[in-house]
């Protein structure tokens, strides 16, 4: 049986990071402004919140995402994704296996996985993920990296491993409006496959003007997709 998945535009994938908000900036206000600026997909990532708080933040984020018809994914926590009826989850290499997440979630759930190597991508494809998050492209202050930076040139071979599949790909880490063009154009597989989008945290979340920050990157991505 084929399952109808929600339509997802991976172009500008915002991963949240409340701890990076500028002083006085409200999280939900920032989220809404960034969506108005062009964010097409949201992942709620909470590394320090307790379950109840995570749940409240996830539900409030979902209410905003629904208003703009933007899909919402939850980082790591399948239970939170189920509780708020999110569109899916993003899981890392050391989180719950894709197969288990798939069993627990509704059949049309979007499942994405962080992949740092060709082997990771091959396994994720085998396991039936919907998209992969490739990188780290560059260094970042947002997360303590546990895997070496691959650079734009390192993304090509990871995209090659998606050849012949309809698994989507975004890249992550250190992506800003100033390097988004380089990232989109430079990350190409041997067969010419390019990224479906870019995942960004600090360049949007840490901005006092997340609308403009998102708009800048969204405009670049749109142009890159129009002229690959």
Give the per-residue SS3 of 137-202.
CCCCCCCCCCCCCCHHHHHHHHHHCCCCCCCEEEEECCCCCCCHHHHHHHCECCCCCECCEEEECH
Q: How far apart are CA 152 and CA 15, in angstroms?
A: 20
142 contact, one of Mg ion, ligand TZP, none, CB 5-8 Å limit per kind: ligand TZP
Minimal CA–CA distance to 195: which of 133, 115, 140? 133
Residue from the set 72, 101, 158, 200 that interacts with ligand TZP by CB under 6 A: 200
Least gap, CB of 57 to Mg ion (angstroms) = 17
Interaction between residue 42 and ligand TZP (CB under 6 A): no
Interaction between residue 221 and ligand TZP (CB under 6 A): no
Q: Does the bond joining 136 to the residue before it have cis omega, within 30 degrees of 0?
A: yes
Least gap, CB of 90 to Mg ion (angstroms) = 8
Interaction between residue 142 and ligand TZP (CB under 6 A): yes
Q: CB under 6 A: which stretch of 49-57, 63-71, 101-109, 166-174 binds ligand TZP?
A: 166-174
Strand bridging mode 72-75 / 110-115: unpaired
Interaction between residue 201 and ligand TZP (CB under 6 A): yes
140 contact, one of Mg ion, ligand TZP, none, CB 5-8 Å limit per kind: ligand TZP
Window 64 to 123, contacts with Mg ion (CB under 5 A) = 76, 92, 95
Q: Judge contact between 203 and 175, C-beta under 8 A.
A: yes
18 contact, one of ligand TZP, Mg ion, none, CB 5-8 Å limit per kind: none
CA angle 81, 83, 87 (to 5 degrees): 35
Q: CB under 6 A: which stretch of 118-126, 135-143, 182-190, 219-227 binds ligand TZP?
A: 135-143
Q: How far apart are CA 133 and CA 211, in angstroms?
A: 24
- Give the tokens for residue 150: 């691959």
- Residues at the site binding ligand TZP, with contacts judged by CB under 6 A: 15, 45, 135-136, 140, 142-143, 172-175, 200-202
- Residues at the site binding Mg ion, with contacts judged by CB under 5 A: 76, 92, 95
């Amino acid at each position: 049986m084929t399952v109808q998945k929600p339509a997802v535009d991976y172009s500008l994938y915002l991963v949240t990071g409340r701890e990076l908000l500028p002083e006085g900036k409200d999280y939900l206000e920032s989220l809404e402004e960034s969506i108005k600026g062009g964010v097409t997909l949201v992942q709620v990532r909470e590394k320090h919140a307790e379950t109840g708080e995570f749940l409240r933040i996830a539900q409030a984020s979902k209410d905003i995402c629904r208003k703009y018809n933007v899909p919402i994914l939850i980082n790591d926590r399948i239970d939170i994704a189920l509780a708020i009826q999110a569109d899916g989850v993003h899981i890392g290499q050391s989180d719950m296996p894709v197969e288990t997440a798939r069993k627990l979630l509704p059949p049309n759930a979007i499942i994405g996985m962080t992949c740092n190597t060709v082997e990771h991508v091959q396994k994720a494809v085998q396991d039936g993920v919907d998209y992969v998050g490739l990188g780290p492209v560059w260094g970042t202050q947002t997360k303590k990296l546990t895997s070496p930076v691959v650079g734009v040139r390192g993304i090509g071979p990871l995209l090659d491993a998606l050849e012949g599949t309809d698994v989507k790909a975004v890249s992550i880490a250190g992506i800003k409006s100033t390097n988004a063009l380089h990232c989109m154009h430079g990350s190409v597989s041997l067969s010419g496959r390019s990224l479906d989008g870019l995942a960004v945290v600090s360049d949007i979340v840490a901005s006092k003007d997340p609308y403009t920050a998102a708009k800048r990157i969204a405009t670049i991505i749109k142009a890159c997709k129009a002229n690959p």
